[in-house]
Amino acid sequence: MTSATTNGIILAAALLSGAVVYLRNKKRPALPYPPGPKKHFLLGNLLDVPTKFAWKTYAQWGKAFDSDILHLSVAGNDFIILNTFSAANDLFEKKSSIYSSRPQFTMVSELMGWDWLMSGMVYGEPWRERRRAFQQYFHAGNAPLYQPAQMEAIRKMLPRLLNTPEDFLSITRQKEEFCVDEKDDFYSALGTMALSLAYGLDIREDNDPYLNLSEEAVKSIGEAAVPGAFLVDVIPALKYVPEFFPGAGFKKKARIWKGMQEGMREIPYADTVKNITRSSYSSDDGVQEVGNARVSFTSTCLENLDESGNIEHQRTVVKDTAAIVFAAATDTTLSAIHTFFVAMLCFPESQRKAQEELDRVLGGRLPEFSDEADLPYLSALVKEVLRSSTYAMIQMATLDAHRFAAIPHYASEDDVYNGYHIPKGSLVIGNAWAMLHNEDDYPEPSLFRPERFLKHGQLDPDVRDPALMAFGFGRRLCPGNHIAISALWLTAATVLATFDITEAIDGNGLPIEPSVEYESALICKAHGENGYSHPLPFKCTIKPRSKASTTLIQSASDSL
């Protein structure tokens, strides 16, 4: 089947869906839909949806229509855009029983077998079981379980940053899209942390098989989740077509991708179980000991299974949740770390202030988590990274005809908000970018200014925390947001304590003026639940702040 034929079928299906919705909506509700661009016959707003920097356009539409809630109709689907924190809180938090589910896609959930993935699961008991398992182990009060792994991973990364600073942000251009190279130093460091937290396993080599499993599986779900890529998402009955049937090539892809999903989910878990089994023995004095099976989410949960319940079901929940930790723990933090480097390059005054504070508090040693209370400027800087960067776009959708960058919330019932009708089945999206650039909350939002979070030299509790918007909303709030923030904080503190980030130098020895841009759409369609916007390739100089810094980096690595 040619590309033109496939596109024609998809367009026909979209028109058919639009016609069905048009006929359904001829009997209009008593209340109006939220405001939005004028709908076109059958297509709705399909031709109006922006293809670049859509989050900015939605914010502009909100101002033009003087409304913090918008309605779009795209090929038969109702979309609700929320541009303010108050609107997001009213729906996602106060009405969470209605807005906590997710839309389902046949290719990803059924044919590829990702129905266990917590971020995309329908709201219900299976989702609650996995979230509960995660929160019981990784709750904010359990920091001693995950912070040592973060400390070890980040300090092991420092010598690589010292020896090959040019590789700190490895970006290549592939298939006409900018794609962050999964093998860069920070990816490896965060992958090490995720593997240790989830399974107690170590990365064994540069081309680690566990990281490769995760990378390939996440790439496949990214490709499959692009709306319009597979007709089976428009016509679910096509899932019954045999693989050998003409035009059913999607079935072969689904089978191969399902194998990747199963490998990522099964292999690290099975290896952990083997380690636990062969490492448990009784010593001469009768005390139970554990050999090379390190404490992890998986080992702890398996040790605490409820013997009175369904053991196999509990093990499945543990296996699923561990895979979620492994797959999701990397890119959420990676995007923010890359943006941190961008901010330090473009705003050297903020870098200098943070380094002065670090020098005063640390006195020449590396930072610890216990230093956080004494480093308010650094904490404010981290908050500003979350607020000002496109990292906040993890909750935004591009809503064009080709791709989405977020998993929307799903309205499971008809609802009324501020006098507007929100139909059942609507896909509801919180525009975190608009919220984090709200001038009432953050004056001069286009400026990178950590001081906005400070008052009399301390963090100001009256300024809204960007984490309330950058990690999702309501019951679908990312349960590991505190882990991502702590990894970002420690990375920023450690790097700034030891390195200077400055302009790159050209062949004539002259500084290159910083010019950093972000890709507006999904990067490689492969990163995480919602898609993350990484900086496009940029150059900078990363060098130790002093000889003492070089010695500190080397000694810290040797001690691990």
**Is 478 labelled a binding residue?**
yes
**Average pLDDT of each block of 10 consecutive residues along the chain (560 residues)?**
51 56 60 94 84 85 96 88 96 96 92 92 95 93 88 88 75 33 62 88 75 85 77 89 92 96 95 83 45 82 93 97 83 74 90 98 96 98 86 35 55 97 95 93 93 97 94 90 92 96 81 59 32 54 93 80
HEC string of 307-320 equals: CCCCHHHHHHHHHH
Contacting residues for 320 by C-beta, under 8 A, at least 6 apart: 116, 117, 118, 130, 265
> What 3-state class would DSSP assign to 461?
coil
Q: Is residue 12 part of a domain?
A: no
Report the predicted TM-score, pTM, of the whole model to 2 decimal places: 0.83
**Gap between the Cα atoms of 542 and 503, Å rounded:** 9
pLDDT for res 535:
47
Q: Is residue 403 part of a domain?
A: yes
Q: Which amino acid is at 216?
A: E
HEC string of 173-215 equals: EECCEEEECCCCHHHHHHHHHHHHHHHCCCCCCCCCHHHHHHH
Could you count the other beta carbons within 10 Å of the beta carbon of residue 247? Answer: 13
pLDDT for res 522:
33
C-alpha triplet 137, 142, 148: angle, nearest 5° = 105
Q: Is residue 340 part of a domain?
A: yes
Q: Contact at 8 Å (CB) between 523 and 179? A: yes
Q: Which amino acid is at 538?
A: F
Number of domains in the chain: 1
**Gap between the Cα atoms of 484 and 504, Å rounded:** 29
Q: Is residue 245 part of a domain?
A: yes
pLDDT for res 530:
35
pLDDT for res 253:
95
pLDDT for res 507:
76
pLDDT for res 517:
54
pLDDT for res 185:
62
pLDDT for res 16:
57
C-alpha triplet 325, 116, 234: angle, nearest 5° = 125
Q: Is residue 124 part of a domain?
A: yes
CATH number of the CATH domain containing 44: 1.10.630.10
Which residues face 500 on adjacent strands?
543
**Gap between the Cα atoms of 236 and 502, Å rounded:** 53
Write out the residue range of the structural domain in which residue 82 sits.
30-279+291-558
Q: Is residue 415 part of a domain?
A: yes
Q: Is residue 8 part of a domain?
A: no
Q: Is residue 470 part of a domain?
A: yes
Helices (H), 376-515: 376-388, 432-436, 467-470, 481-498
C-alpha triplet 371, 377, 379: angle, nearest 5° = 60
